[in-house]
Structure 1
Amino acid sequence: MRVSPSPTKAAAVALALGMVVTGCAAGAGETRSGLTLGYFPNITHAPALVGVENGIYDEALGDTGFSTQTFNAGPDVINALFSGDVDAAFVGPNPTINGWAQSGGQALRIVAGSTSGGAGLVVRPGIDDVDDLRGTTLASPQLGNTQDVALRWFVRGQGWEADTAGGGDISIIPQENPEAVSSFGAGEIDGAWLPEPHLSRLRVEYGAELLVDEADMWPQTEGRFVTTNLIVSARFLEEQPEAVRALLEAHVASVDWINDNPERARETATRHLAELTGSELNPEVAEAALDNLTFTADPVAASLRSGAEHAEAVGLLEPVDLNGIYALDPLNDVLAEAGHGPVAGLEGQGSA
């Protein structure tokens, strides 16, 4: 969750933000018509996979116009939001916080939750308890990313040290998720703190054991923690609130359909993934991964703030004020119409 970009990146962010503020991102001060939604070809973005595949967003947005763009990394999503290439996106808590901090709270708002859970520490057979971890080599997806922070917070909680150079009582090596899977299979690492479906891949395909379920680290939220948010451009929210409401109607409908039709949802999500990536996810992995995830419009706001505090504690985030990051009033209107209860932001207020 690092929020101290290099001078070059800071300049790029400032330029992009300037374009958003002045209206140049859409071209010559014009507002681009329609809504463009960004998402990942990843099972943790199942509400997007299902909603796009089933035409739920197309139907809800109607004459507004709807298009999509897929990404493989959170920072790319945030840059696209800054530049106006996308208006809304499914993205994890780490890039969300980074975008909020880099823009001084100007560029984005979290308008809904999407996914909770589905992360933890998987290890090779023979590591039977936490004490066996001392001296091991573990992977995390990226220095300062959501799972890396969780791993370092866990290590800190054991009274151990792990520096950013791979030294300490436990060696933490940043590796992209597919690389970590390959490294584990080759015996080059002892385990990894991973999100789904990579966590289930190691368990199903390589016999890894789940040593730490991250849900157990969140007693204050009854095991729930944010994995994916739905964010929108602050400018788009201000200028096209009805389009955002239609997006939220589609999002809630997609989440409800997944929860009401788990088997069909798995088939739909994996079919759309195959269309996007050209390869099919192992059905056993897909089933295990989806069983380990909770799809909900609740952003589990308390876990976002705690995650930021954890990142600060392990030295990977400068202090950041998150008040105002949520704009949940439109979502709560949609939830009420759909027969659901309201969700809360950081201070217990819909738009806190």
Structure 2
Amino acid sequence: MNKIRTATAITTLGLVAMMMAGCASGSSNAAEGAGATAGPSVSELRLGYFANVTHAPALVGLQEGIFKKDLGDVKVTTQVFNAGPAAIEALTAGAIDATYIGPNPSINTFIQSAGESARIIAGAATGGAALVVADGIASPADLAGKTLASPQLGNTQDVALRVWLADQGYKADTSGGGDVHITPTENSQTLTLFQKSDIAGAWVPEPWVSRLVIDGGGHVLQDEADLWPDGKFPTTVLLVRADFLKDHPDVVKNLLQAHVDSEQWIADNPAKVADAVNAQLTADTGKALSDKVITRALEHVSFSVDPHADAFATLVKNGLKAGTQKDGSIDGLFDLSILNGLLKASGDDTVSAAGLGEE
């Protein structure tokens, strides 16, 4: 296999209780995840993801038949979510086995379950999130008294928005009060509200950044990439239930092979990515993105199996500052051992867990 590349220009309150209680019934540690004896065989892998460009590895893997090929006799069934906390709720309830998801909900469930719930087994995407605002808002000072949206309370963009507002001197509480009001809203509804001028802006992932800019007439006030060293921050990771990893490491290995192959397909086929993503989005939502929107969106996202584990200490601090997360350790959050085994076998560079788990 060729080296996995990210040089595609494509270089590009009702959920508080759930957020604060991400416990799962299985018990496992990182070492068990990679080397445990497989449990009873399974015929189905239940996979979650979002209908977002930042989840392109999932979209491409499904559209191009990569998951079907690499999972063999194990059928992949899918569930599409709007944001991470809802996916965590499904994962915690045992309704899905793995999901593409943002880092902050992954941190939340791990801390709340004392490390029992889930493991990050790979990275998927970096970049592709921003605060888009309406005309007339030229600086943070213009946001006083305004209402902004995020995808869901406690999701990665919601945390980023709350921390950024605090850094600008604003207070915004989790019930929608404060100097700036944050209303967690489903992304498609956010666009409608923005077009009707019912909200002043939103911190969202791609393609919703580009939709608010192109379809909603907004402009980017803060690109999240500008807040991170070298502009790199994890937007999407691949998370698996800890007990599923313990009981079915062979299936997880095949899932990771499909993920790696999907990332490689994206790297090898830059001219085809937009069509593949749009085809799966159409299958999932009934509507494709315009050429302008998907082109702009892909320009702001990079894809890699590296989860950028070294950013997670900052993400933990952000969650605490935002008031959407309890304090706790994330030691053991990552189990990259199976992924790194696949990368070594293919002659690719391995990825780091930054001391936060197996690699």
Same structural fold, with TM-score higher than 0.5 when normalized by the shorter chain: yes
- Among 71, 76, 82, the alignment partner of 1:67 is 76
Report the alpha carbon displacement of residue 129 of structure 1 after superposing the two structures with TM.
Answer: 2.5
Deviation by residue 1:237-285 (Cα, 9 ceiling, x = unmatched): 2222222222212111111111221221110111011112222222221
Write the letter of the residue equivalent to 1:248.
L
Higher relative contact order (CA 8 A, sep 6+): 2
1:146 aligns with 2:153: no
TM-aligned CA distance change 1:344 to 1:98, over 3 Å: same
Write the letter of the residue equivalent to 1:351.
E
Aligned to 1:204: 214
1:89 aligns with 2:99: yes
TM-aligned CA distance change 1:31 to 1:100, over 3 Å: farther
| Aligned 8 A contact 1:329 1:350 in 2 | no
Write the letter of the residue equivalent to 1:51.
G
CA distance in 1, matches of 2:44, 2:155: 32
CA distance in 1, matches of 2:243, 2:179: 46
Q: How does 1:1-352 map to 2 (within 5 A)?
A: 5=17, 17-18=24-25, 20=26, 32-63=42-73, 65-73=74-82, 74-219=84-229, 222-347=230-355, 351=358
Structure 1: 5+ residue stretches without partners: 23-28
Report the alpha carbon displacement of residue 66 of structure 1 after superposing the two structures with TM.
Answer: 2.6
* Aligned-pair identity (%): 43
TM-aligned CA distance change 1:317 to 1:260, over 3 Å: same
| Aligned 8 A contact 1:3 1:101 in 2 | no
Runs of at least 4 residues off by over 4 Å: none
Write the letter of the residue equivalent to 1:205.
D
CA distance in 1, matches of 2:176, 2:85: 23
Write the letter of the residue equivalent to 1:227.
T
Structure 2: 5+ residue stretches without partners: 1-13, 29-38
TM-aligned CA distance change 1:127 to 1:302, over 3 Å: same
CA distance in 2, matches of 1:293, 1:308: 22
Choose 256-265 or 112-121, whichever is displaced more.
256-265
Q: Report the TM-score, using the length of structure 1 for normalisation.
A: 0.86
SS at match of 2:334: coil
TM-aligned CA distance change 1:129 to 1:245, over 3 Å: same
| Aligned 8 A contact 1:344 1:350 in 2 | no
Q: Report the TM-score, using the length of structure 2 for normalisation.
A: 0.85
CA distance in 1, matches of 2:154, 2:261: 33
| Aligned 8 A contact 1:345 1:351 in 2 | yes
CA distance in 2, matches of 1:156, 1:300: 25
| Aligned 8 A contact 2:134 2:219 in 1 | yes
CA distance in 2, matches of 1:44, 1:121: 16
CA distance in 1, matches of 2:318, 2:94: 31
Write the letter of the residue equivalent to 2:335.
A
Specify which structure has the higher proportion of helix. Answer: 1
Write the letter of the residue equivalent to 1:42.
N
Aligned to 1:25: none
Provide the alpha-carbon RMSD of the alignment: 2.6
Number of residue pairs the alignment of both structures matches: 335
Report the alpha carbon displacement of residue 143 of structure 1 after superposing the two structures with TM.
Answer: 2.6
| Aligned 8 A contact 1:216 1:223 in 2 | yes
Write the letter of the residue equivalent to 2:292.
E
